Amino acid sequence: MADIVSFPKRGLVCVSGPDAATLLDGLLTHNVEGAGPEACVYTAMLTPQGKFLFELFITAPEAGTYWIDVSEPASFAKRLSLYRLRSKVTIEDKSEAFVVGAAWQASALPASAMSYSDPRNAQLPHRFIAPRTDLALGDDALAFQTYEQKRLGLGVPDLGADLLVEKDFILEGLMGEMGGVDFHKGCYVGQEMTSRMKRRTTVKTKLCRVRFDGAAPEFETPILADGWEVGRMRSTGEGVGLALIRFDRVQKATAEGHELRAGDQAVQLDPPDWMVVPA
């Protein structure tokens, strides 16, 4: 197994300046005050309607400077710039100069790397940000496949891969269970819908770990019970994956004795013990 893996669709955006924290706090589901060189704030950026846009891992190499590990970094930097207005903030996409990834062994990282534990699940390897010129990456495709198998085996979503942008909600993506939302913080973009879903317990649809035999179903393959759609497949690995499930429909189908199928594959729900399963 390779000691390190880079994430091909993620990059680094640097946000700095006197107003950086104020700008980010007004937009994100968590305040950034807890970020540090080895401390990560796990958070998200939403649409005004509360739909998912970006999943963020934020560290701070120094006061007033925030390094943001994000999927689609160019799109994120552009979106963030729309909110900057007259704020004293610099927004830089540094993805060409830095690698974002995870390390199974900390000793494999160069001294210039900044590493931190993954806030979603302690069993995942530490994440890191490192200068691209200081890393010697091996078979990155194999390393990424190994990482994905571990992530899926734990039932941990990668929201950039497992939620649809501007369509799905972060509470459907288990972000509440993974500590990605501060339900006590002040206003942020999309807060009203997120708080309402939490307060009224209206989340009937959630990502859930699923098991299957044979070839993995394709992304967005409908999961059917007696011809009735109860969910959709998302990312998959060998024998395991994540699916967006309507639990009320699954409960009805199960009570009636129907099997769940994604294409030609039978699938079984296997929620991890840390997940809050809708009643």
Q: Is the pLDDT confidence value at 223 over 50? A: yes
Domain ranges of the chain: 7-161, 171-269
Beta-sheet strand order (sheet of 52-62): 41-46, 52-62, 65-71, 10-16, 90-93
pLDDT tens-digit profile of 120-176?
999 999 999 999 999 877 667 888 999 999 999 999 999 999 999 999 999 999 999
Q: How confident is residue 200, by pLDDT bands cut at 50, 70 and 90?
A: confident
Q: How confident is residue 198, by pLDDT bands cut at 50, 70 and 90?
A: confident
Cα–Cα separations (whole angstroms), residue 221 to 216, 242, 243, 262: 10, 12, 9, 6
Size (the chain), residues: 279
Q: What are phi and psi of 73, to 5 degrees?
A: -60, -35
Q: Is the pLDDT confidence value at 1 over 60? A: no
CATH architecture of 7-161: 2-Layer Sandwich (3.30)
Helix, strand and coil content of the chain, in percent to the nearest 5, comes to 20, 35, 45
Higher pLDDT, 197 or 29: 29
pLDDT tens-digit profile of 18-72?
999 999 999 999 999 999 998 999 999 999 999 999 999 999 999 999 999 999 9
From the list 5, 3, 109, 115, the residue with the least C-alpha distance to 57 is 115
- pLDDT at residue 140, rounded to an integer: 78
| Across 203-228, average pLDDT | 96
- pLDDT at residue 2, rounded to an integer: 67
Q: Is the pLDDT confidence value at 206 over 50? A: yes
CATH of 171-269, one of 1.10.287.3510, 2.40.30.160, 3.50.50.100, 3.40.50.300: 2.40.30.160
Contact 135, 208 (CB under 8 A): no
Q: pTM of the full predicted structure?
A: 0.94
Cα distance between residue 103 and residue 230, in whole Å: 36
Percent of the chain scoring above 90 in pLDDT: 89
Q: Identify any residues that bridge with 265 across adjacent strands, giving them in sequence order.
A: 262
Cα distance between residue 263 and residue 275, in whole Å: 26
**pLDDT averaged over every residue in the chain:** 94
Cα distance between residue 20 and residue 84, in whole Å: 9
Cα distance between residue 85 and residue 81, in whole Å: 8
Cα distance between residue 190 and residue 67, in whole Å: 23
- pLDDT at residue 34, rounded to an integer: 94
